[in-house]
Amino acid sequence: MISYDALERILKEKGIGKTELSLKLGISSRTIAKISKGEKLSKRSIQKIANYLKTRPENLMREVVENPILQLLREEKESRLPGGLYHELQIRMTYNSNHIEGSQLSEEQTRLIFETSTIDTQDGVPVDDILETVHHFRAIDYVIEHAEDLLSEEIIKHIHYILKHDTKDSTLSWFSVGDYKKRANMVGGRETAKPSEVAGRIKKLLENYNAIEKVSIEDIISFHAEFEYIHPFQDGNGRVGRLIILKECLRHNIIPFLIEDKKKNFYYRGLNEWHNERGWLIDTCLDSQDSFSRLLSMLEIPNS
């Protein structure tokens, strides 16, 4: 599909108006209207425009994906449109995911960082809370950019690197930023995978998950729970796991679900009891999906 923004930019650079383009190439006003609406053009029309502007056809193109939510997020990310879905996703997911893990930043402070790159610390907050907020914004960008890629160890490790680089943890000799843990850890008194087991268990988890022919929301929830049971990193596992949820929902055209801080206790209970009772975590995630659907409705974005 031809990108109206790209065409506008090239026309401006060359000092050519849309009327001149239409007259010189014999392109109808209807075709110009199609471009402005983001509708598809024939390859012949695109090549004709590219030849006249002395540029390659791909410079006029934008990738269009089947998932309308992913398409919208990519468009709004590129244009930095304020007040849209991308804007709200960044703030709401970053605030809730970090707050679940103990960040002292409020939602309003998170919003201020995203919107103005400034913060009113008032009583003061840890520097790492600020760094990890900015890093989380970048991690969401990475997830949107790579949403359609097959989930892999490389992607998982890179998400961890984005979140934890330059933080206090990264100065510790035994803390592996962007790599699996070196020291055993526990979660809520529960043992997790030993460092020597992590690589093998993650590979097996990915192998089983990526073999599913049609991934459902229950499959994504199951992957998340098993990932958290392995707990492959020294720290940051919850945030990495929830970013994987977003990526895989976007990849498989499933309405995303963002775990809100106010649902933290239900979320943790669901994770802790996963191997005994799966319904609790599934119900919490489905309720969170309903919340995301309401956000789409508020922004007048179709759910499908």
Cβ pair 223, 205 in contact under 8 A: yes
Percent of the chain with pLDDT over 90: 69
Domain count, the chain: 2
pLDDT band at 1 (very low <50, low <70, confident <90, very high): low
pLDDT band at 304 (very low <50, low <70, confident <90, very high): low
**What are the tens digits of pLDDT across the range 42-51?**
778 788 888 8
Annotation: binding site: 235-242, 267-268
d(CA 280, CA 173): 38
User: What integer best gives the mean pLDDT of the chain?
Assistant: 90
Per-residue model confidence (pLDDT) at position 64: 63
**Domain span including residue 123:** 68-299
Among the candidates 46, 63, 80, a domain finishes at: 63
The reply to whether 120 and 144 lie within a common domain is: yes
Which amino acid is residue 52, in one-letter code?
A: Y
The reply to whether 84 and 159 lie within a common domain is: yes
The reply to whether 84 and 17 lie within a common domain is: no
Per-residue model confidence (pLDDT) at position 210: 98
Annotation: binding site for ATP: 235-242, 267-268
The reply to whether 47 and 95 lie within a common domain is: no
**pTM of the predicted model, to two decimals?**
0.81
What tokens were used for 130?
A: 């600020």
Per-residue model confidence (pLDDT) at position 3: 59
Mean pLDDT of all residues in 239-261 = 97
The reply to whether 99 belongs to the active site is no
The reply to whether 90 and 35 lie within a common domain is: no
Per-residue model confidence (pLDDT) at position 263: 97
CATH number where 271 lies: 1.10.3290.10
The reply to whether 193 and 86 lie within a common domain is: yes
Is 304 inside any structural domain?
no
Cβ pair 205, 199 in contact under 8 A: no
- If one compares 290 and 37, the residue with the highest pLDDT of the two is 290
Per-residue model confidence (pLDDT) at position 16: 85
Is the per-residue pLDDT at 220 higher than 70? yes
**What are the tens digits of pLDDT across the range 100-159?**
999 999 999 999 999 999 887 666 678 899 999 999 999 999 999 999 999 999 999 999
Among the candidates 19, 48, 63, a domain finishes at: 63
The reply to whether 132 and 33 lie within a common domain is: no
Is the per-residue pLDDT at 4 higher than 60? no
The reply to whether 93 and 53 lie within a common domain is: no
The reply to whether 85 and 227 lie within a common domain is: yes
The reply to whether 76 and 58 lie within a common domain is: no
HEC sequence for the chain: CECHHHHHHHHHHHCCCHHHHHHHHCCCHHHHHHHHHCCCCCHHHHHHHHHHHCCCHHHHECCCCCCHHHHHHHHHHHHCCCCCHHHHHHHHHHHHHHHHCCCCCCHHHHHHHHHHCCCCCCCCCCHHHHHHHHHHHHHHHHHHHCCCCCCCHHHHHHHHHHHHCCCHHHHCCCCCCCCCCCCCCEECCEECCCHHHHHHHHHHHHHHHHCCCCCCHHHHHHHHHHHHHHCCCCCCHHHHHHHHHHHHHHHCCCCCCCCCHHHHHHHHHHHHCCCCCCHHHHHHHHHHHHHHHHHHHHCCCCCC
Lowest mean pLDDT: which of 54-68, 127-141, 288-302? Answer: 54-68
The reply to whether 85 and 33 lie within a common domain is: no
CATH number where 30 lies: 1.10.260.40
The reply to whether 257 and 153 lie within a common domain is: yes
Catalytic residue chosen out of the listed positions 99, 135, 224, 231: 231
What tokens were used for 225?
A: 């729970």
